[in-house]
């Protein structure tokens, strides 16, 4: 029996994703990556695509935050951007469906408000996570009624350009925790054990870590970059 997202409270969630251009792109590999994460103590998984989610569901019993990354011409919104992706995710029914909850217009021309209302009408019991980039977006997602507010896109959008999640001892997280009713999931460049511990101490529901654990090409690069800096 699959565990509920409540089992990941104050625990680590590991993002197991590899895009088509990446060396580990494979549903089988992502399933094994999820198993490795579980063996390391992770209590939840974030995954992309129905194929990867289905494989991970066969491999571990951890709750899954599911997304579909889909590029649409001329639109920067790519995390579960339309109802087409939401409907696809419901084929595998992850415990939580996450989506871009920024102020940007979606590829089908819909605002977040309209998109959210349509999802709630079609899937009223599904838990939803808002991937946000700014404090204003987080507050708005909280007002709409998202079950979880995520800091996923901080620093990755035009509106949050130059902002780092760790600035001023995670001031953004500390501010949003005081202002919202729904649980906050820390995500986005929380890439060291020390940062994870600090964010958890501040009171987030869970912390998601991805590339620092599951993208070996990026992990390797931190070592080779260090060698270059040393001018060996």
The answer, yes or no, to whether residue 57 has pLDDT greater than 60, is yes
pLDDT class of 229 with cuts at 50, 70, 90: confident
Mean pLDDT of the chain: 97
The predicted pLDDT at position 111 comes to 96
Set out the domains of the chain in order of their start, with CATH numbers: 5-229 (3.20.20.70)
The pLDDT > 70 percentage for the chain reads 99
Has this prediction a pTM greater than 0.85? yes
Exposure class string for 34-72: b at 16+ Cβ within 10 A, else e:
bbbbbeeebbbbbbbbbebbbbbbebbebbbbbbbebee
The predicted pLDDT at position 230 comes to 66
Tokens representing 22?
């990446």
The answer, yes or no, to whether residue 232 has pLDDT greater than 60, is no
Query: For residue 190, which of 179, 175, 204 has the smallest C-alpha distance?
Result: 204
List, for residues 77-104, the tens digit of each pLDDT value. Answer: 999 999 999 999 999 999 999 999 999 9
The predicted pLDDT at position 1 comes to 84
């Amino acid at each position: 029996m699959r565990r509920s997202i409540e089992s990941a409270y104050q625990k680590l969630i590991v993002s197991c994703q590899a895009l088509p251009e990446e060396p580990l792109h494979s549903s089988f590999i992502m399933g094994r990556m999820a198993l490795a994460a579980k063996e390391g103590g992770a209590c939840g998984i974030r995954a992309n695509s129905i194929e990867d989610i289905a494989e991970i569901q066969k491999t571990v019993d951890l709750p899954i935050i599911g997304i579909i990354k889909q590029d649409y011409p001329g639109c920067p919104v790519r995390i579960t951007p339309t109802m087409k992706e939401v409907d696809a995710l419901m084929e595998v029914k992850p415990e939580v469906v996450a989506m871009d909850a920024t102020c940007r217009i979606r590829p089908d021309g819909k605002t977040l408000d309209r998109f959210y209302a349509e999802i709630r009408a079609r899937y009223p019991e599904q838990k939803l996570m808002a991937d946000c980039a700014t404090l204003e977006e987080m507050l708005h997602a909280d007002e709409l009624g998202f079950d979880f507010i995520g800091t996923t896109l901080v620093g990755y959008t035009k509106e949050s350009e130059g902002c780092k999640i760790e600035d001023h001892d995670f001031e953004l997280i500390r501010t949003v925790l005081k202002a919202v009713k729904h649980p906050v999931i820390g995500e986005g460049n929380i890439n060291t054990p020390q940062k994870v511990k600090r964010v958890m101490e501040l009171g987030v529901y869970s912390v998601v870590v991805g590339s620092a654990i599951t993208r070996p090409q990026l992990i390797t690069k931190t070592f080779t970059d260090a060698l270059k800096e040393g001018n060996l």
